[in-house]
Amino acid sequence: MIFTTLELNEFEIFMRNNFSHYTQIEELYKYRKARNLGVHIVGVKENGNVVAACLLTDARIFKVFKYFYTHRGPVMDFTNLALVEFFFKKLTHYVRMRSGVFILVDPYVLENIRSADGEIIEHFNNKQWFKVMNKLGYQHQGFTTGYSAMSQIRWHSILDLKDKSEQQLLKDMSYQTRRNIMKTIEMGVQIKTLSIKETNRFYRLYHMAEEKHGFHFQEEPYFKQMLEIYGDKACMKLAYIDLNKYINLLKQRAIELEEKVTEIKQSLKVNANSKKTKTKYQQLNQQLESLNKKIAKTEQLIITDGTLLDLAAALFIYNNHEMYYLSSGSNPKYNEFMGAYCLQWDMIRYAKEKGIERYNFYGITGDFGEDAEDYGVQQFKKGFNAFVEEYVGNFIKPVNKLLYKLYQN
């Protein structure tokens, strides 16, 4: 086995053919390289074939020293203990030779597959390679829960798209989720792709989510940067509604209902004692009254808020293996239009079109109690028939122990 830097095309082919995270991608390498930001592609070859690969970045600390991060890498067979030991021994040496203080490693490797309620469905035995990591001084940081601005989330919500038609995916969803998706279609909620110049429209909705949930992670420039880095592998999608079109739909339905009410009236003249007809007449009148209230409310909304309403927006990134739903936000004032459901369904269908087999709703806390800070988010994802993947978490290797202690303080 040989530890070596890899050519970009070797790396790209390996990642395309082996399950990997969106950060292990040539677009990130090219972006950082073009801006003279620390980036490396390293791997292991055996008999001329790549058997392990990792995009690695570095950043300055203490002016002249660096810390290194593996971005959900490396990608390799972690059950091959000889390969694990060889790669990480050589990685330590590689980093030491480049003034590294420590390495943060967070492999995209499963610890458990769980139900949406947190029950373990399948456990993966990682004990043997954990022992190898420990022997090499790579310290496991524990099986954490919750969100952290300092590391990638350890829990993801996943929807399996493999060999499933759109009809099957809808059937597998909860009744309420399926109904909400259908209602957005009936209401005429639309989806558009935002350009990088329109990031402010996304960020306004994202900021509303921050205020609602009491968190703060990223500023607007971060999202522009994500679009710049990932290019056509990233997109910002906006769910919106044109109230002029919507009110025309409502008025058309009102006309149709009025015609039905008139028909029922005629029937009652012929048979005034028909219980069934009387009940139908009452139901139609109630529907018509409700519809007229909606029309009046929509007319008022047009006066106060305009004809085009931005409902919800999200940032998506994809690779050959997954579609990732990363950051999002919505305007709670317009919850009745359920823009978030329309967004998800549109992108699930898009993933199917691209031949992608997994839809990754991304992070949850891993706290499955009803008092969890993200309980509502978990229920939203659960409604789409998502299950939960729990990853192994972080390892830290202090390469320069003295400087690492100083860094911690």
Residue 269 has pLDDT above 80, yes or no: no
Q: Which of 15, 18, 34, 19 is nearest to 229 (CA)?
A: 34
**Tokens representing residue 76 in the block:** 């390799």
Query: Using CA atoms, how far apart are residues 241 and 187, in angstroms rounded to an integer?
Result: 8
Q: Is the pLDDT of residue 306 over 90?
A: yes
* Mean pLDDT along residues 353-357: 97
| Element of type H or E holding 325 | strand 322-330
Average pLDDT over residues 33-60: 98
Tell me what the pLDDT averaged over the chain comes to.
Answer: 96
pLDDT 10s digits, 118-140: 999 999 999 999 999 999 999 99
Is 95 within 8 Å of 103 (Cβ atoms)? yes
Q: Range with the lowest mean pLDDT among 137-141, 148-152, 158-162, 293-297?
A: 148-152
Delineate the domains of the chain, giving CATH numbers in brackets: 2-148+393-408 (3.40.630.30), 157-239+307-391 (3.40.630.30), 244-304 (1.20.58)
Average pLDDT over residues 295-324: 98
Average pLDDT, integer, range 81-100: 99
Angle at 197 between CA 57 and CA 364, to 5 degrees: 50
pLDDT level of residue 59 (50, 70, 90 thresholds): very high
CB 210 within 8 A of CB 176: no
- pLDDT, position 278: 81
How far is residue 131's CA from residue 157's CA, in Å, rounded to a whole number?
28
Q: 259: which 2 tokens?
A: 């015609």
Which residues are within 8 A (CB) of 111 and not within 5 positions of it... i.e. 6 or more apart? 123, 124, 126, 143, 390, 391, 392, 393
Contact 50, 6 (CB under 8 A): yes
pLDDT in tens, 5-45: 999 999 999 999 999 999 999 999 999 999 999 999 999 99
403 three-class SS: helix
Higher local confidence (pLDDT), 263 or 126? 126
- DSSP track, 85-97: HHHHHHHHHHHHT
For position 151, what pLDDT does the model report? 85
Q: What is the pLDDT of residues 199-254, one digit of tens each?
A: 999 999 999 987 776 677 789 999 999 999 999 999 999 999 999 999 999 999 99
| The pLDDT value given to residue 214 | 67
| pLDDT beyond 90 at 162 | yes
Q: Are strands 387-391 and 110-114 parallel, antiparallel or unpaired?
A: antiparallel
Helix (H, G, I), strand (E, B) or coil at 170: helix
Q: Which residues, at least 6 apart from 80, have a Cβ–Cβ distance to it below 8 Å?
A: 51
From residue 354, alpha-carbon distances to 240, 400, 403 in Å are 24, 45, 47
- The mean pLDDT value for 341-358 works out to 98
Instruction: Write the CB contacts of 347 (distance below 8 Å, at least 6 apart in sequence).
Output: 237, 314, 316, 323, 325, 359
Distance of CA 344 to the CA centre of its chain: 10
More confident residue, 210 or 409: 409
**CA–CA distance from 366 to each of 116, 117, 387 (Å)?**
10, 10, 12
Q: Is the pLDDT of residue 273 over 80?
A: no
Share of the chain above pLDDT 90, in %: 89
d(CA 221, CA 203): 10
Mean pLDDT of 307-319: 98
Q: pTM of this prediction? A: 0.94
Q: Average pLDDT for residues 300-313, to the nearest whole number? A: 98
Mean pLDDT computed over 306-320: 98
